[in-house]
Amino acid sequence: MTLKHMPKPLQSGKHAARALVSGLLLATILLLLAPSSSYLAIEQPHVGFGAFLAERSDAYLVDNMEFDWVVWQLQWSLAEPSKGHYEWLGLDQLLANAQSEGLKVVLRVDSAPDWARSGPVGAPPNDMGDFGDFMSAVATRAAGEVAGYVIWNEPNLPINWGGSPSAAQYVQMLEAVYPRIKAADPDAAVVTAGMATTGGPGGGQCGLGSGLASGPLTAYTQELYAAGVVNDLDFICRIYLRGGKPYFDVLGSHPYGFAYEPQRDPGSVSGLAFRRVEQQRALMEIRNDGNTQIWAIEFGWILDPGSTCRQWGDWPTRTWQIVTEERQAEYLRDAYLYAWSRYPWMGVMSFFNMDFATVYWYHYCEPVRWYSVAYRQNHLDPGHSPIWYRESYHTLRGMARALAGGPKAFVSLGLRNRD
């Protein structure tokens, strides 16, 4: 409140002084009651329609779908090849393309450089302070242009933690980066990594029952546990138990649907379903964190790569998850509709993925290519091989505008008979 808006002083000096004090007191109270500059300024959309992008120049594909959000991976190892030496070209191009298309940006930051870690590729840094320094530099560079930073990727997987996953160490990572990001850009959301969905009951230490994953463990879940993967619900629970709550603004999630429609009761498939996110939400509420949103940083359904790829890499563990193009389109659409109508706490939903089948740096059989809704016939020759679109692209196009009250001819409401 400026002085020109203060009450006019009365003729009496005594009354004038009293009025001035009262006005200043009122101004002070209003300032104290005003929203804090950080938390309440963070964007909290109800179902923000987004896509995970591989190639920064493909941002126009997201805009053409009339989606508003884009998630992109910023690899620390490429952006800071040596301590204090930054390479911002990729980030700057992504931000420029997103701004040109009117898209809001979420960055997932991971991949510690060689100089910062002694563990294998994927391991966290030896000194979390180095990561804090980097995140401070990123948030300073991109202040006002990045809506959220996702801290790391699926740290409940040994491959992403250089060995046995540790929620205690992950909380140390959050503690190192949160204040540095907030100092540089108070309005940017700090988002936890989405955990790899493991299936099976978990979260018991936080008092969570097993109702959403009460069936017997699947062979897939047993294989994950045998490989040292930590249950996603247990990992999230331990973040809270280790004091991580003050160091994130949004809980990240990866609620993949595996082989099942998004409406599937998770208890019938040991938790390997899109609605696993409901149990993650239950954990948050048990920990008195019900005012915090969940953002689905990745979710999707995988297509058949063909017989030549089904024995490549880890495909033998994934073939049971394969769906048809028609099912992929239906399930992605229905996931958005389900969250829109039933999850008031759901924020950004970024399907995985837009364009990983268009870029040259992934092997033809790489599974990430087979979630993609855009592709090239020859991804190794992008200059002469145009981008084509799967059914999912056309099904999702215009969906956000339609749900917001625009034309609704784009989609039949597939949930009508799916309750």
**Comparing 236 with 14, which gets the higher pLDDT?**
236
- pLDDT at position 405, please? 76
Cis before residue 353, ω within 30 degrees of 0? Answer: yes
pLDDT exceeds cutoff 50 at 151? yes
Question: How many CA atoms does the CB half-sphere of 369 hold within 13 Å?
Answer: 21
Over the stretch 171-201, which tens digit does the pLDDT of each residue have? 999 999 999 999 999 999 999 999 999 999 9
- Mean pLDDT check: name the lowest of 207-211, 261-265, 408-412: 408-412
What dihedral do alpha carbons 156, 252, 86, 366 form, nearest 10°?
60
What residues contact residue 255 under an 8 Å CB cut-off, 6+ apart?
197, 273, 274, 275, 276, 277, 280, 296, 299
- pLDDT at position 206, please? 96
pLDDT band at 210 (very low <50, low <70, confident <90, very high): confident
**Comparing 9 with 351, which gets the higher pLDDT?**
351
Taking residues 41-70, what's their average pLDDT? 96
Over the stretch 355-390, which tens digit does the pLDDT of each residue have? 999 999 999 999 999 999 999 999 999 999 999 999
pTM for the full predicted model? 0.88
Question: How many CA atoms does the CB half-sphere of 384 hold within 13 Å?
Answer: 3
pLDDT exceeds cutoff 90 at 4? no
What are the residues facing 73 on neighbouring strands? 108
- Mean pLDDT check: name the lowest of 129-143, 226-240, 394-408: 394-408
- Mean pLDDT check: name the lowest of 1-5, 212-216, 353-357: 1-5
Amino acid identity at 287: R
Question: How many CA atoms does the CB half-sphere of 160 hold within 13 Å?
Answer: 18
Taking residues 136-150, what's their average pLDDT? 98
pLDDT exceeds cutoff 90 at 107? yes
What residues contact residue 390 under an 8 Å CB cut-off, 6+ apart?
303, 325, 328, 329, 372, 373, 374, 375
Q: DSSP 3-state assignment of 161?
A: coil
pLDDT exceeds cutoff 90 at 245? yes
pLDDT exceeds cutoff 50 at 418? no
- pLDDT at position 406, please? 58
- pLDDT at position 413, please? 40
- pLDDT at position 35, please? 35
- Mean pLDDT check: name the lowest of 14-28, 300-314, 396-410: 14-28
Taking residues 69-88, what's their average pLDDT? 98
pLDDT band at 212 (very low <50, low <70, confident <90, very high): confident
- Domains within the chain, CATH numbers bracketed: 53-403 (3.20.20.80)
